[in-house]
Amino acid sequence: QVQLVQSGAEVRKPGASVKVSCKASGYIFTSYYMHWVRQAPGQGLEWMGRVNPTGGSTSYAQRFQGRVTMTRDTSTSTVYMELSSLTSEDTAVYYCTRSIGVTGDYFDFWGQGTLVTVSS
């Protein structure tokens, strides 16, 4: 069965960086794009970007450009999302989710979420 298992909760100070992992299993890793979506406390869902596991190419939401890096390791079927220059506004649950990668696409499986808390 398809599973996306994320790393555990993190606490960081303002200005620091955080790296969250998402290990995929139960399907062909390189057949699906992996996206990152975040949700601040009590707020809605925000798409951050995606990585193509086949070649590693990325697309990021403009508001995160220069601050986010998404990578993948095909040997372990794991994707990573690193966010730098953290502020309190980055406190959120971060989800990885997969899609096939075409127009009209959808997120059919999600990780369990990783809470990142930014606090001095």
Contacts to another protein by CB under 8 A? 35, 44-47, 50, 59, 61-62, 95, 97, 99, 103-108, 110-113
Q: What is the C-alpha separation between 53 and 56, in angstroms, rounded?
A: 5
CB of 13 to another protein, least distance (A): 26
Q: What is the C-alpha separation between 84 and 2, in angstroms, rounded?
A: 30
Cα 83 versus chain centre, distance: 10
Q: Which is nearer to another protein, 80 or 95 (CB)?
A: 95
CB of 76 to another protein, least distance (A): 22
Nearest Cα to 57, choosing from 17, 30, 85, 77?
A: 30
Q: Which is nearer to another protein, 50 or 72 (CB)?
A: 50
Q: What is the C-alpha separation between 120 and 41, in angstroms, rounded?
A: 18
Q: Which is nearer to another protein, 27 or 47 (CB)?
A: 47
CB of 103 to another protein, least distance (A): 4
CB of 5 to another protein, least distance (A): 12
Q: What is the C-alpha separation between 57 and 111, in angstroms, rounded?
A: 21
